[in-house]
Amino acid sequence: MPDLLLPTRAICDRARIARDARFDGSFFTAVRSTKIYCRPVCPARAPSARNIVYYSTAAAASAAGFRPCLRCRPELAPHAHLHGGDDATARALALIADGALEQESVAALARRVGVSDRQLRRLLLARAGATPIVVHATRRLLLAKQLLTETSIPITQVALAAGFQSVRRFNTAFLEGCGMAPSKIRRQRGAAPRGIMTLRLAYRPPLDFAAMLTFLARRVISGIERVGPDSYERVIGPANASTWIRVSADATRHELRLEISDTDARVIPVIVRRVRRMFDLDADVRIVHESLLAHPLLAQAIAARPGVRVCGGWDGFEVAVRAVLGQQIIVAGAATLARRLVHAYGIQRTTAFEGLDRAFPAPETLVDAPLETLGMPMSRATTLRSLCRAVLKQRIDFRAGQRLDSFVERFVALPGIGPWTAHYVAMRALSHPDAFPAGDLVLQQVLGGAQRLSARATEAVSQAWRPWRAYAVMQLWLMANDRSKEKRDVVR
């Protein structure tokens, strides 16, 4: 069965020979003579072309009997970027990446994406070169390999982090998948520093990390998170068992550095997934730009900022609350309301980190709270309480793999929620690549030029950019921000 995600042989050959980082994770090079698979950026001596076979995913190479290279470390590669976010395959892979198969069967996963389990296996074999179980197993083994290499976590804890309840089972699976025992990997890589662990998170260049920090800084929630000139920090987890994280850019590699304080090893995969999603590290901007460059404004924006990506949020409920607070007011006003909300109802953390001493209030805390006293209109307080009730009754959730139209339909059914809020939340909480808040005033003004467009006209213009409209939103918002800065500089 053909692997539909795999670039052509000629493209793979050129990218491999050039060690082109833009193709990192888009395919893997497997060598028949050594039974090892590598990233296209592998620094090792190039193998003979006749011994090479290409696979679109690490899971596909693993299923064919190849093991990961110790030198280029395939566990660091960004994941394959599917074309769009609403087809069954894309949604299934998003759910697997979010840990769905840790708790449920393939049949249950198939029901969630609306196909039979047999059809799901067939789709993933065609699109990703491996079955759902192999995709899941490869992901957790590669995470284990990274933890063994980069941290000092005991092997028993690495096994738990990778989803194994038995160290014996973990050792067997690791030996089969990686060609050596976990203890041998640990010995070969040497001792990792203790205390704060640091993990490497690769991406395909370009990535405009500075622009993402600027975007997050304007929306920062005081007490929960902090954005510096070159990093993002927050404290997560229960108030009585806090974990600190910090994300910064590596100056020498196409990677972000994720620092994590001492924590339960089982939450490490969740942290890694959320950081990758928040900074959109698996995006392939080459593919995205193909749909956007035909529009003159977007071509201009991409030329100025080619590394712009969709900037997500850490927690779906947090993003949704923040979006409701921001309805019909400026960004700074919404940040003020968010700060008041957190300081009024957020639990004080027992382990204080300087400036990061609160846990975001849970829906059960806010559902009956007198939110009007924070300085917001009664209608907005009512909307927030309705959102909390919907989350508590599981009518609304923020899990990966949801269809955009289905999520928007459920979200706008809540009182006080319109399409703008629903699409904004889908973009930042679900990381849906095609979310597009057509009612956004800034988008209407930028696209309309001298005459602001209507929401309907804005929506019509956006159809040519599907399924990557969320990337257009980010580009146009940043373009508008840059223009407003230029105007202020002229006034000064």
- Number of neighbours of residue 289 by Cβ within 10 angstroms: 16
Distance separating the N- and C-terminal Cα atoms of the chain = 63
What 8-state DSSP symbol labels residue 465? G
> Closest Cα partner for 133 from 167, 175, 171, 177?
177
> Closest Cα partner for 173 from 184, 162, 188, 189?
162
Is the bond preceding residue 40 a cis peptide, omega within 30 degrees? no
How far apart CA 346 and CA 365 sit, in angstroms, is: 9
How far apart CA 317 and CA 19 sit, in angstroms, is: 41
Task: Retrieve residue 77's tokens.
Answer: 């590669």
In angstroms, what is the C-alpha Rg of the chain? 23
How far apart CA 492 and CA 486 sit, in angstroms, is: 10
86 catalytic per annotation: no
Q: Please give the sequence-ordered ranges of beta strands (E in DSSP) within 342-394, or none if there are none.
A: 347-353, 356-359
42 catalytic per annotation: no
What 8-state DSSP symbol labels residue 453? P
Phi, psi for 224 (deg, rounded to 5): -105, -40
Phi, psi for 175 (deg, rounded to 5): -65, -40
Is the bond preceding residue 206 a cis peptide, omega within 30 degrees? yes
Task: List all residues 6 or more positions away from 9 whose beta carbon is below 8 Å from its beta carbon.
Answer: 54
CA distances to 133, 163, 430, 436 from 278, rounded to whole Å, are 26, 23, 10, 18
> Closest Cα partner for 224 from 343, 325, 371, 321?
343
What 8-state DSSP symbol labels residue 79? P
How far apart CA 143 and CA 138 sit, in angstroms, is: 9
Active-site hit among 38, 42, 69, 388: 38
- Compute the 3-state secondary structure of the chain and give helix, strand, coil in percent, each to the nearest 5: 50, 10, 35
How far apart CA 123 and CA 106 sit, in angstroms, is: 13
Please list the active-site residues: 38, 440
